[in-house]
């Protein structure tokens, strides 16, 4: 084994790792697109104390928070094909479940866990909007739906942004666990490249850098948007 | 104009309103006085359905509603005829002063945006905030915020404006500007139902004063009757406590 870092390999592998970014972002984007509205609805069910849904949400949230994502991945990756096989057989669909692209499993697992996390984020942020805002909106003739859309959600969203940024960054990092179901994202691509010449350190540094850059960019974008969206919170002049 | 009959409201075992009747004529300024916990605020909130009464009916400019079982549509209709000024202003934090005033017109009443902004501007001019159109609530003093709150109510051109202790959250030196605006809109003939602790305002502006205690109307009459010749012992006690010394000789 050679001494020191193989810089040339490191540079090459950096671009290999980079080529996993679209998959990582696709999983992140799909998970967020599903989790933001779903999490928000669940948060509303808890804030407005809607029976049954509220209890189910509570159990669901503690289930997700109380189990490692890697375990959720193992369970999904092992059980969904079985369910699908049964389903396909019942309805006579001729598809081999083991041909299903792993990204679909990633969509399921990460949407499932992110929804739970975001429902908590939105629940606390809805709590920061004073009840008087809803009352004032209703008193000037807005329906509850209009009040939420025009007054409450815009304010709740602003206070949710820091936590939403954290959740998004955590999600991006968590997608690295997709390698456990052979999802061709950043980590797996770099690791496979490293396997050939045992250049693991170089590959890990590459992975490290790619995530660092990606997460910093996302964080920066959130900061920028937060500043823009919270312009109304200017200090008294 | 507004007639409330037999309104009851309890919070758990605590009975706040024990059958209150109330009448406000067009152009009247009716002030409700009473110690805290007497149900004044709850009464106002029940009229605007911010709380659901346990019993009672209301007649608002020809429209009859049951305060307990009114449908969503009826609640909406009542809110179209009334406006509310809150103790804590409750301005929409994410909107400028002008947007705050225009919101009810644009979203609630479907007034075209341009027209709504014009109406909102006029309302802000009226309360002396012509230079604060684009200020967010966080940039305004308490007195200014409450004046926006009043402009928001006035712009809707409601049949009646309900004021819930509009000056109670203000620093003493800011109370005057808000009361000034209220006097002005009262003078323009706005029908007002005001819960307040400002005795001077009640004396000067009201044409009817209602004294509430323990969830019932103890006494009502003209300011002269209530402040000058109160009949009920509870009214006399209350006035002795709240009126400054120099007024006491008249009691």
List alpha helices for B48-132, DSSP H: 72-81, 97-103, 113-126
Q: In what order do the strands lie in the sheet with B14-24?
A: B14-24, B2-11, B55-60, B63-66
Checking ipTM against 0.95, whether it exceeds it is no
| Residue A113 contacts residue B79 (beta carbons within 8 Å) | no
- Asked if B71 is an interface residue toward chain A (Cβ–Cβ < 8 A), one would say no
Query: How many domains would you assign to chain A?
Result: 1
Enter the pTM of the model. 0.83
pLDDT of residue B37: 86
- Asked if A236 is an interface residue toward chain B (Cβ–Cβ < 8 A), one would say yes
Q: If you compute the radius of gyration of chain A from its CA atoms, what whole number of angstroms results?
A: 22
CB-closest option in A136, A150, A232 to B136: A232
- Asked if B94 is an interface residue toward chain A (Cβ–Cβ < 8 A), one would say yes
| Mutation to test the B interface, candidates A139, A144, A154, A235, most B Cβ within 10 Å | A139
pLDDT of residue A237: 45
Question: Crossing angle of helices A69-90/A102-127, nearest 10°?
Answer: 120
Please choose, from the candidates B229, B217, B222, B230, the residue with its C-alpha nearest in 3D space to the C-alpha of residue B204. B222
**Phi, psi for B121 (deg, rounded to 5):** -60, -45
Give CA angle at B234 (B231, B235), nearest 5°. 55
Chain A residues whose CB is inside 8 A of the B136 CB are: 231-234
Higher pLDDT, A92 or A53: A53
What is the distance between the alpha carbons of residues A105 and B140, in angstroms, rounded to a whole number? Answer: 52
Assess if residue A2 is contained within a domain.
Answer: no
Instruction: Give the Å distances, CA to CA, from A164 to A11, A107, A129, B37.
Output: 33, 19, 17, 42
Assess if residue A1 is contained within a domain.
Answer: no
Assess if residue A214 is contained within a domain.
Answer: yes
Assess if residue A237 is contained within a domain.
Answer: no
| Residue B83 contacts residue B162 (beta carbons within 8 Å) | yes
Contact A138 B50 (CB under 8 A): yes
Chain centroid to CA B137:
21
Assess if residue A23 is contained within a domain.
Answer: yes
| Mutation to test the B interface, candidates A128, A134, A135, A136, most B Cβ within 10 Å | A136
- Residue ranges making up the domain that contains A160: 7-232
pLDDT of residue A160: 93
Q: Which residues in chain B come in under a pLDDT of 70?
A: 244-251
| Residue B1 contacts residue B160 (beta carbons within 8 Å) | yes
The domain that holds A183 is classified in CATH as 1.10.3720.10
Assess if residue A171 is contained within a domain.
Answer: yes
pLDDT at A187 over 50: yes
Task: Mean pLDDT check: name the lowest of A138-142, A182-186, B157-161, B243-247.
Answer: B243-247
């Amino acid at each position: 084994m050679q001494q020191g870092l193989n810089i040339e390999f490191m540079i090459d592998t950096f671009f290999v790792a980079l080529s996993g970014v679209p998959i990582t972002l696709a999983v992140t984007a799909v998970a967020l697109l599903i989790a933001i509205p779903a999490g928000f609805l669940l948060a509303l069910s808890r804030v407005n104390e809607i029976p049954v849904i509220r209890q189910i949400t509570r159990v669901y949230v503690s289930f997700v928070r109380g189990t490692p994502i890697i375990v959720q991945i193992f369970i999904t990756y092992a059980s969904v094909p079985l369910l699908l096989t049964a389903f396909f057989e019942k309805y006579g669909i001729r598809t081999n479940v083991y041909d299903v692209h792993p990204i679909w499993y990633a969509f399921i697992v990460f949407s499932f866990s992110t929804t739970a996390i975001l429902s908590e984020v939105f629940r606390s942020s809805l709590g920061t909007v004073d009840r008087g805002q809803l009352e004032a909106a209703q008193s000037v003739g807005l329906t509850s739906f209009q009040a939420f859309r025009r007054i409450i959600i815009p304010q709740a969203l602003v206070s949710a942004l820091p936590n939403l940024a954290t959740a998004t960054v955590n999600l991006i990092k968590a997608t690295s666990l997709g390698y456990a179901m052979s999802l061709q994202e950043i980590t797996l691509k770099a690791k496979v490249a490293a396997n050939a010449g045992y250049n693991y350190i170089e590959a890990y540094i590459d992975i490290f850098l790619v995530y660092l850059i990606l997460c910093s960019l996302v964080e920066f974008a959130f900061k920028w948007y937060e500043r823009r969206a919270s312009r109304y919170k200017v200090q008294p002049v | 104009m507004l007639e409330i009959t037999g309104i009851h409201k309890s919070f758990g075992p605590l009975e706040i309103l024990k059958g209150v009747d109330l009448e406000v004529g067009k152009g009247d300024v009716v002030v409700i006085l009473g110690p805290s916990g007497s149900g004044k605020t709850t009464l106002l909130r029940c009229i605007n359905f911010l709380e659901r009464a346990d019993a009672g009916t209301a007649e608002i400019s020809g429209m009859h509603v049951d305060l307990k079982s009114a449908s969503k549509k009826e609640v909406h209709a009542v809110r179209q005829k009334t406006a509310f000024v809150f103790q804590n202003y409750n301005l929409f934090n994410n909107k400028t002063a002008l947007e705050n005033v225009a919101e009810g017109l644009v979203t609630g009443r479907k007034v075209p945006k341009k027209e709504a902004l014009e109406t909102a501007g006029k309302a802000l001019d009226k309360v002396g905030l012509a230079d604060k159109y684009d200020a967010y609530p966080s940039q305004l003093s308490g007195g200014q915020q409450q004046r926006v709150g009043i402009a928001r109510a006035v712009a809707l051109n409601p049949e009646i404006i309900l004021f819930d202790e509009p000056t109670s959250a203000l620093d003493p030196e800011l109370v005057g500007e808000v009361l000034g605006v209220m006097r002005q809109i009262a003078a323009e003939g706005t029908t007002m139902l005001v819960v307040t602790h400002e005795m001077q305002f009640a004396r000067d502006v009201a044409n009817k004063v209602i004294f509430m205690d323990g969830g019932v109307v103890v006494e009502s009459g003209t300011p002269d009757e209530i402040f000058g010749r109160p009949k009920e012992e509870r009214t006399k006690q209350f006035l002795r406590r709240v009126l400054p010394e120099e007024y006491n000789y008249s009691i």
